[in-house]
Amino acid sequence: MSATVKGISKSDVQYDGAALRVAIVHARWNKTVIDALVAGAVAKLKESGVKESNIVVQSVPGSFELPLACSRYVRDRAYNSTRAHVQTSSNVTDLLSGLSFGAIPNSETPATAATVTMPNEPFDAVIAIGVLIKGSTMHFEYICDSVSHALMKIQLDTGVPVIFGVLTALTDDQALERAGLGRGEDKGHNHGEDWGLAAVEMGSHVRRWREGKFD
Ligand SMILES: Nc1c(NC[C@H](O)[C@H](O)[C@H](O)CO)[nH]c(=O)[nH]c1=O
Ligand SMILES: CC(=O)[C@@H](O)COP(=O)(O)O
């Protein structure tokens, strides 16, 4: 039996991630697999030159929560970059940008004279990581379908790449093998690595396209 034809081919371009900011939003269901996938993605991001300080990792309860979280990392960051306010007396650390935030000014706590608008660099790509394993009900099907469509909508609506890192496995072994943790002779391949590389490539493409470079 010939080897499978499946799998992604290597890009003939080595994309440089040095200037990129990437968010990884991951679910917490099926932790053993999730942890391997996240580690694989982070490893390839760093190998591609993405600075550790430019990699934000955020967890959510389950895959069903991925779209809302990803939309906030994409939409708020991209559309509300002027809303970021930094006050001298910071009391809240904003995980999104690593800046210390005072309370966002409002009628009770108006912005102080020291409030400044800080550049709030948007993320170049967001990697959504989840592991769905089929159970005995239709819950699996409904989550897989709704989450995949929602993540696609976010990226098309915003133009920010949302890498689909959601495993939709029918068995534990299918999930384990796709994280390089196969229990048989063939350990499988860690798909998280592919997602890290995809984030760097797509983030680089979007930057070039934004500059009008389509060559
Ligand atoms: N069964 C799995 C879930 N289920 C939980 C949902 O994703 C969601 O958190 C809950 O319905 C509350 O809204 N999530 C996974 O990521 N993987 C599963 O296998
Ligand atoms: C993906 C799921 O939600 C699934 O694991 C839940 O299992 P069950 O269908 O047996 O409730």
Nearest protein CA to atom 2 of ligand 1, as residue: 132
Question: Does 79 or 215 have the greater pLDDT score?
Answer: 215
CATH number assigned to the domain comprising residue 151: 3.40.50.960
Global pTM value:
0.83
Which ligand sits closest to the CA of 137?
2
Q: Is residue 184 part of a domain?
A: yes
Q: Is residue 174 part of a domain?
A: yes
CB of 131 shorter than 6 A to ligand 1: yes
Choose the catalytic residue: 139, 189, 191, 205. Answer: 139
Per-residue pLDDT, averaged over 158-182, amounts to 98
- What separation in Å is there between the alpha carbon of 171 and the centre of ligand 2? 11
CA separation (Å) from 169 to 21, 128, 134, 136, 181? Answer: 30, 16, 6, 13, 14
Q: Is residue 88 part of a domain?
A: no
ipTM value of the model?
0.98
Q: Which residue from 30, 50, 13 is spatially nearest to 124, judged by alpha carbons?
A: 50
Q: Is residue 198 part of a domain?
A: yes
Instruction: Say what the pLDDT of residue 6 is.
Output: 85
Domain hosting 156: range is 22-83+118-211
Per-residue pLDDT, averaged over 14-19, amounts to 94
Q: Is residue 182 part of a domain?
A: yes
Taking 80 as the threshold, does the pLDDT of residue 102 lie above it?
A: no
pLDDT digits (tens, 9 = 90+) for 116-162: 343 467 899 999 999 999 999 999 999 999 999 999 999 999 999 99
CB of 143 shorter than 6 A to ligand 1: yes
Give the total number of structural domains in the chain: 1
Q: Is residue 74 part of a domain?
A: yes
Q: Is residue 30 part of a domain?
A: yes
Q: Which atom of ligand 1 is nearest to the CA of 147?
A: 7
Q: Has 139 been annotated as catalytic?
A: yes
Query: How far is residue 90's CA from residue 25's CA, in Å, rounded to a whole number?
Result: 26
- Ligand 2 pocket, residues with Cβ under 6 angstroms: 132-133, 135-137, 139-140, 143
Taking 90 as the threshold, does the pLDDT of residue 95 lie above it?
A: no
Nearest protein CA to atom 5 of ligand 1, as residue: 62
Nearest protein CA to atom 14 of ligand 1, as residue: 62
Q: Where are the alpha helices (DSSP H) in the chain?
A: 31-47, 66-71, 77-79, 139-158, 172-177, 191-210
Instruction: Say what the pLDDT of residue 80 is.
Output: 47
Nearest protein CA to atom 1 of ligand 2, as residue: 140
Per-residue pLDDT, averaged over 99-123, amounts to 52
CB of 64 shorter than 6 A to ligand 1: yes
Per-residue pLDDT, averaged over 79-93, amounts to 42
Taking 60 as the threshold, does the pLDDT of residue 93 lie above it?
A: no
Per-residue pLDDT, averaged over 103-117, amounts to 50
The amino acid that residue 82 corresponds to is T
DSSP 158: H
Q: Is residue 153 part of a domain?
A: yes
Instruction: Say what the pLDDT of residue 79 is.
Output: 43
Query: How far is residue 111's CA from residue 106's CA, in Å, rounded to a whole number?
Result: 7
Confidence bin at 13 (pLDDT 50/70/90):
confident
